Structure 1
Amino acid sequence: MPVVSSKGKAMPESPIRKLAPFAEKAVKDGKHIFHLNIGQPDIKTPIEALNAVRNHKLEVLAYSHSAGFESFRIKLAAYYAKHDITISSDDILVTTGGSEALIFTMGSITDPGDEIIVPEPFYANYYSFSTQSNVKVVPVISTIDDGFALPPIKDFEKLITPKTKAILICNPGNPTGYLYSKEEIQQLSELAIKYDLFLISDEVYREFVYDNSEHYSILQERALNDHAIVVDSVSKRYSMCGARIGCIVSKNKSVMETAMKFAQARLSPPTFAQIASEAALEAPDTYYIETVAKYKERRDTLVEGLRQIPGVKVATPQGAFYCIAELPISNADHFAKWLLDEFHVDRQTVMVAPASGFYSSPNEGINQVRIAYVLNRRDLKKAVHILKLALEKYKEQEAIVSVQSDVIL
């Protein structure tokens, strides 16, 4: 019998989606699930984007330029200018989601066996993309005790080898919600220049920052022009996850010329999705202001509720709409399955993402979960209440199993 590739076998399961069969069974069993496992916003997509598709005049759904609509890239450059990022439309390549942007980036700057240093926990698909690209992810661990702040620069420096090609960060972070400060970005910039590395920044949550904080992009570091590559997307910014439109942004001409060859190989990004994404840029500033205000309220509701549960530890996220919570259990993977398969409160239960899938280091995050606060505050309160009751019952069962094991021993 023919066999699949070793690369295929090495591809990790999504910690976010691997529990889908358990969720489907729970629904068939008549349970309602509060989804805290996936970053699918319930915020309405800008009406400007939807109307642009509804009112289109196209008679032929043709290919676009491989780099994306020029008109879209010009408007994107204007968008970045509002954030003190000076680039031209030629510095932008439109991709099929931020995922393709990162895959193109890895393909453009690495050879098989090269290494990319990534603070962990990190977005789980980074590991998938690196596997596709035959690149080794080298983790540098951040901890919940200091809010998942940037690890000391010396921790990065000691991991640099002749195979190291880049440092990759997510700012604000998925899954931690950590927002890197200007000083932290500058430290990374100096390191990238010192060792002639690329600094890749996933900035898809740029707008989602709280408590009067400000996002600082690597593209604002002018000395970093030849080293900086930004991955971006409309998915979260405009609640357009299904559009699958993202982009690579860099002033490094060699990188952009190389990425264009990957873009040409896949022909072009989707036309209707570009139409919608270009129109979304016309959304008024109030769209961002109202959306960020909602997420801040949800964050506060979630964090306050979690901190009232005995034994739960959570760092307050300063950006994005995720947090990592450490639970008073031994195995979050088992707990997440148990929530769907065996537990409910009045036919209601909760779905979370086990955080071990956001680490590449063995045995890290095994008692942590990632929670996405993309539900309204009423549902978040219900979900936290269910989680509290679930933990009480689960810990009782763990204690019974532990006693039985001691008796057997």
Structure 2
Amino acid sequence: MLCLILQQNSTNRMPSVSNKGLEMPPSPIRKLTPYADKAKQEGKHIYHLNIGQPDIDTPQIMLDAIKNIDFKVWAYTPSEGTASYRGKLSSYYNKLGYAITPNDILVTNGGSEAITIAMQACINPGEEIIIPEPFYANYNGFACSAGIKIKPILSYIADGFALPPISEFEALITKNTKAIAICNPNNPTGYLYSRQELEALRDLCLKYDLFLLSDEAYREFCYDGREFISPMHLAGLEQHVIVLDTVSKRYSACGARLGCMITKNKEVWRTALKFAQARLSPPAVAQIAAEAAIDTPQSYFDAVKAEYTARRDVLVAGLNGIKGVYCPNPGGAFYVVAQLPIDDADSFCQWILEHFEYQNQTVMMAPASGFYSTSNAGRNEVRLAYVLNANDLNKALLCLEKGLEAYPGRTATA
């Protein structure tokens, strides 16, 4: 009898997952995928504006490098990345005026790992990092993994998501504040920070001895002749700034999963290397491809920038032409955040996949609420990525307009 009771108890019990696992937020970019999959099974064509997966061809020089690999053993690479790749990569950054050496670079498994390692190397569990929001949604997950606290500071769609006043940053600084992080050009808003804004951040970081983490995944995508400024360009920040980068967007090579962390602070670099050693090494094949990609001609980037500028213009004009919709014109990246006449973006983005179709088509977007850390912020906003051609963007805009007209939770507009 006792054995039977023990057997019953054992079948009714199971170990629980970690508290950190429960706290880890789901991706707002990918959480609607099951609804999109179901819509596809029902025969609907979906225009994917939810994720920053470019449809631009990867440079041929990068693909050829993979085809021509001739090693006999697919071996580990150094934890910091191969010397040949870091050497060539430093030349790329020095053409941009960063004045670094190969020994300032730590190669990572994607930009995501660069961010995670930087957080772990610079910030203790329980300490704080200030980030203007909306921000890249996975910052929440990275901070959760590192056990650190994000202190969000709101930027607003009404002023194009410009950097909030420095006084608001200063008001958030406590004895536990260790860093400020920015993404420039910004994901999800596309806002491009000015030299004046970055210099104000520099002065603040120097005043309070803070690290400045600069996510520069979209450096190549600045429009209308606007200047890209990195904190690496600003005198005085040499021991404070950490650049986080990736080949994903620059070369339309998201699947390569290769990024890097750059810092002139040797203590930070040595500390970050220990985290890199714990995960062994960055991918060998991706480094071979990325090393070759550095020789991509400027004409490639000029054509890509022209294409994204045209797509941006189509999307922004189309959104602002829909009654009740407002979208500022971004200066960089390939995203916009738009304000819609709806009660709740999470509900709308699910509804338009589950219950709506126009000529057997619908659109997938990312609710902007997931790009905020502040509760209830961005509830009527969505992020859209202009990674489709202009013809498809126009079709997606028509689906969105028809969807807004039919949505039960549409709010009144002037």
Pairwise TM-score range, normalised by the shorter structure: over 0.9
Equivalent-residue separation in structure 2 for 1:124 and 1:2 (angstroms): 30
Show structure 1 runs of 4+ deviating over 4 A.
none
The equivalent of 1:138 in structure 2 is: 151
The equivalent of 2:409 in structure 1 is: 398
Equivalent-residue separation in structure 2 for 1:287 and 1:257 (angstroms): 36
How is 1:279-298 mapped onto 2 (pairs within 5 angstroms)? 279-298=292-311
Say if 2:23 is the partner of 1:10.
Answer: yes
The equivalent of 1:164 in structure 2 is: 177
Equivalent-residue separation in structure 2 for 1:185 and 1:124 (angstroms): 22
Say if 2:394 is the partner of 1:381.
Answer: yes
Equivalent-residue separation in structure 1 for 2:50 and 2:95 (angstroms): 32
How is 1:177-196 mapped onto 2 (pairs within 5 angstroms)? 177-196=190-209
The equivalent of 1:203 in structure 2 is: 216
Equivalent-residue separation in structure 1 for 2:276 and 2:368 (angstroms): 33
The equivalent of 1:129 in structure 2 is: 142
The equivalent of 1:407 in structure 2 is: none
Structure 1 stretch 74-83 or stretch 252-261: which is displaced more?
A: 74-83
Q: Deviations over 1:295-345 (max 9, x none)?
A: 000000000000100100111110000010000001011100111101011
Could you tell me how far 1:81 is from its partner in structure 2?
1.3
Equivalent-residue separation in structure 2 for 1:281 and 1:339 (angstroms): 41
| Contact 2:342/2:410, CA 8 A, preserved across alignment | no
The equivalent of 1:34 in structure 2 is: 47
Matched position secondary structure for 1:102: helix
Matched position secondary structure for 1:161: coil
The equivalent of 2:341 in structure 1 is: 328
Equivalent-residue separation in structure 2 for 1:228 and 1:157 (angstroms): 18
The equivalent of 1:362 in structure 2 is: 375
Q: Deviations over 1:221-249 (max 9, x none)?
A: 12100000000000000000000000000
Match of 1:349 among 352, 362, 366: 362
Match of 2:83 among 47, 54, 70: 70
The equivalent of 1:97 in structure 2 is: 110
The equivalent of 2:69 in structure 1 is: 56
The equivalent of 1:220 in structure 2 is: 233
Equivalent-residue separation in structure 2 for 1:388 and 1:69 (angstroms): 50
Q: Deviations over 1:185-234 (max 9, x none)?
A: 11000000000000000001001000000100011112100000000000
How is 1:238-249 mapped onto 2 (pairs within 5 angstroms)? 238-249=251-262
Match of 2:131 among 115, 118, 133: 118
Could you tell me how far 1:399 is from its partner in structure 2?
6.7
Q: Deviations over 1:21-57 (max 9, x none)?
A: 0000000000110000000000000101100010111
Could you tell me how far 1:398 is from its partner in structure 2?
3.1
CA RMSD of aligned residues (A): 1.0
Match of 2:274 among 261, 272, 284: 261
Equivalent-residue separation in structure 2 for 1:18 and 1:279 (angstroms): 35
Change (3 A) 1:399 1:183: closer
Equivalent-residue separation in structure 2 for 1:143 and 1:399 (angstroms): 22
Change (3 A) 1:91 1:399: closer
Say if 2:324 is the partner of 1:311.
Answer: yes
Letter in 2 for 1:219: M
Matched position secondary structure for 1:328: coil
Equivalent-residue separation in structure 1 for 2:291 and 2:409 (angstroms): 52
Equivalent-residue separation in structure 2 for 1:89 and 1:282 (angstroms): 17
Equivalent-residue separation in structure 1 for 2:133 and 2:344 (angstroms): 19
Equivalent-residue separation in structure 1 for 2:402 and 2:90 (angstroms): 49
Structure 2's unaligned 5+ residue stretches are 1-13
Matched position secondary structure for 2:409: helix
Structure 1's unaligned 5+ residue stretches are 403-409
